[in-house]
Amino acid sequence: MIALLVVACEVAFWVLLATGLALRYVARKPKLGAAVLLCEPLLEVVLLVVTAIDLKSGAEPDWKHGLAAVYIGFTVGLGHHTVKKVDAWVAHRWFDGPPPVKPPKYGRARAVHEWRAAARWILAAVVALGLLQAAIWYVGPGGDISSLQSWQQKAAAVIVISLIIAGSYTLFPKQPPEGADAAEREPAGRI
């Protein structure tokens, strides 16, 4: 049941996103569209409550409970960024909005971009780790918590990988090709 609920939450996330953007751009009701988009965190609350009830009713913790924690972490860490990116893309693609800002390609600006991306992934992993640890404490010492601990290891790996990627752009910044003009070297605008 939990796995199906995770899938339902993911589908509902995209349905709410599409509905919110349709209200915003097609129906020209930006406030109503924003209100629909603000309903998305309710999906995670429902998933969290149902997962807690499932564990409380005596279900053995397994990969599905871990998946629910990771999904919630992902949504907290990356959901807002995903909504903003899709919004910018839809506005540009179909409603004459400005083109989405492309990430910088080189140097310090690229390193800053990578650290921001790493921060989102790390936040997602930390939230998942916290929820997984809460589930472990909730189940108590008598339950089989090995699957939850396995998910914790995966979340910790996400943190390490994010730090390695961002750190590599800091220690070994990508340089523009020879002969590149100044605009390519350090792009203007927000980093």
Structural domain boundaries in the chain: 2-175
pLDDT exceeds 90 at position 188: no
- Per the rule left: phi > 0, alpha: psi between -120 and 50, beta: everything else, 28 is left
pLDDT exceeds 80 at position 189: no
Residue of 85, 80, 61 lying closest to 123 (CA atoms): 80
| Contact between 128 and 73 (Cβ < 8 Å) | yes
Q: pTM of the prediction?
A: 0.86
Angle at 153 between CA 150 and CA 159, to 5 degrees: 150
Segment of 100-109, 111-120, 130-139, 175-184 carrying the highest mean pLDDT: 111-120
pLDDT in tens, 13-36: 999 999 999 999 999 999 999 999
Give me the residue label for tokens 């998942």: 128
pLDDT exceeds 90 at position 140: no
